Amino acid sequence: MELFNLHTHKWTNQPNVLELVNQYPQEFDATIPYYSIGIHPWFIVEERIETDLAIIESKLQDANCLAMGECGLDKRIEIPMELQQMVFEKQLLLAQKYQKPVVIHCVAAFQELIAIKKKLNISVPLIIHGFSKNIQVAKQLLENGFYISFGKYLLLNKELETVFKSVPDNRFFLETDTVDEGIEAVYELAAKYKGISVKEVQELVNNNFLEVFKIEY
């Protein structure tokens, strides 16, 4: 593996890239080699929660399912927070049961996220995907054991350079999410911001991959 893409909705099937492709319980594609699966807070359907969770639990037992997610909390949607928290907590407990890392979608709910991690005593790695906030939020997440993944907003927002540089080398990942740019562009920008080569960024991310996902590729 030369490059690892922590979170994408577009499988590109490049031989030098391991892509963790986001999947949903009701739209599962068995041809995708490595994936995460979860109930995104945007797509919670109350009468289908238990069915979706059952599908997710079965997939978490598949070696090619590398993570739970994306799942999480979003204060900017109409789905009640109580319902979002219930669905999120059930998924975190499944991730804990099957010892899978979690790819997290979080919008304006970082305090709640930290509180839930503490309340449920979650010890599997939790990765905030698509980070776009300030150094203070990043610092608080790092202090509470989270990993932080950068991609779309790193490409779009120059002000994130300072935040990205503040994250320790052993606590970050890179991703594309929904952008058209390839993961190579994200690696190149990350290398520029850190003042190191793309090869050195690859080594850092690969080390973090081994630490979090516990598999050789």
- Res. 166: pLDDT tops 80: yes
How do beta strands 147-150 and 172-174 pair? parallel
Structure tokens at 195: 């003042």
- Nearest alpha carbon to residue 186 among 151, 156, 157: 151
Binding-site positions for a divalent metal cation read 70, 105, 129, 177
Q: What is the pLDDT of residue 217?
A: 66
- Binding site, by residue number, is 70, 105, 129, 177
How far lies 175's CA from each of 20, 66, 149, 186, in Å? Answer: 9, 15, 7, 7
Q: What's the chain's average pLDDT?
A: 97
Domain ranges of the chain: 3-213
pLDDT value at position 212?
A: 98
Per-residue model confidence as pLDDT tens digits over 115-124: 999 999 999 9
Mean pLDDT of the 79-90 span: 98
- Residue 170 has phi, psi (to 5 degrees) of -95, 15
Superfamily in which the 3-213 domain is placed by CATH: Metal-dependent hydrolases (3.20.20.140)
Beta strands in 110-206 (DSSP E): 126-128, 147-150, 172-174
